[in-house]
Amino acid sequence: MTTIAETLGICWNAGPKGGPAEYRLTYHAQQQARAKGWSAQEILEAANSPQHTYPSSRHPGQMRHVRGDIVAVVDPAAQRIVTVYKDVEETSLRADQTDQGARLYASRTTRLGQAIHVQVDEITY
């Protein structure tokens, strides 16, 4: 039987298989880490020894490596960390975020500049 995590491509305890860490930071990832108060070492640890991983749905070939509250977006083919962000935190759009996905996000989260409050009922089993 396939689990939900397997269906979504989530791999738990997904550290590197036999060998030292190989991902390197891009300049953008370094800037994002610094802006969020994380050290380069924390980002490298998230990328190279994640607690779980899952594929990017927006950028085929990229992976999300998660350790604690740090998500390191990695490009395995280029062995680089593309960017980093805090797990499960939604932020306002930046001026440079103008692609279709960003516009869709903005349309569902704002109405006339005001946040749309979405309420989720508690799910009990």
Residue ranges, the chain, pLDDT below 70:
1-21, 89-91, 105-125
Closest CA to 28 of 74, 76, 95: 74
pLDDT of residue 81: 96
Length of the chain: 125
The residue to which tokens 């349309």 are assigned: 107
Query: What confidence score (pLDDT) does residue 27 get?
Result: 93
The CATH number that domain 4-88 falls under is: 3.30.2310
Per-residue pLDDT, 79: 93
- In percent, the amount of the chain with pLDDT more than 70 equals 63
Q: Specify burial of residue 91 (Cβ count, 10 A radius: 0-12, 13-18, 19+).
A: exposed
The pTM score is 0.61
